[in-house]
Amino acid sequence: MRIFGGAIFILSAIIAAIIFLLPEPEGFPILEYHQVTDEVLDPDFEVYNVPPAEFAAQLDYLQAEGYTTITLQDFMRVVHGKGALPDKPIILTFDDGYADNYKEMLPILEAHGMTAVVYVITNEVGKKNYLKLDELKDMQRRGIEIGSHTADHLPLTSLDATTRLNQIRDSKIFLEWSGLQTIYSLSYPNGAFNGDIEKILHEENYLTAVTGEAGLNTLETNPYELYRVHIRKPRFGLTEFKFRLWKAKFFAKVRNIF
Residue number with CB closer to Zn ion (95 or 104): 95
Q: Which stretch binds Zn ion (CB under 5 A): 7-15, 35-43, 88-96, 155-163?
A: 88-96
Q: How far is the CB of 153 from Zn ion (least distance, A)?
A: 6
Helices (H), 112-152: 133-141
- Report how far Cα 85 is from the mean position of its chain's Cα atoms: 18
Contact 68, 28 (CB under 8 A): no
Least Å from the CB of residue 160 to Zn ion: 21
Part of the chain binding Zn ion (CB under 5 A), chosen from 69-77, 83-91, 92-100, 215-223: 92-100
Is there binding between residue 95 and Zn ion (CB under 5 A)? yes
How far is residue 182's CA from residue 77's CA, in Å, rounded to a whole number? 14
- The dihedral through the CA atoms of 159, 161, 166, 167 has a sign that is positive
* Among positions 32, 54, 74, 96, the unique one binding Zn ion when judged by CB under 5 A: 96
Q: 54 or 95: whose CB is closer to Zn ion?
A: 95
Residues in the chain, overall count: 258
Residues numbered 174 to 213 that lie near Zn ion (CB under 5 A) are none
Q: Which stretch binds Zn ion (CB under 5 A): 2-10, 71-79, 93-101, 133-141?
A: 93-101
Give the nearest distance from C-beta 190 to Zn ion in angstroms.
7
Distances in Å between the Cα of 53 and the Cα atoms of 32, 42, 56, 57, 59 are 17, 20, 5, 6, 10
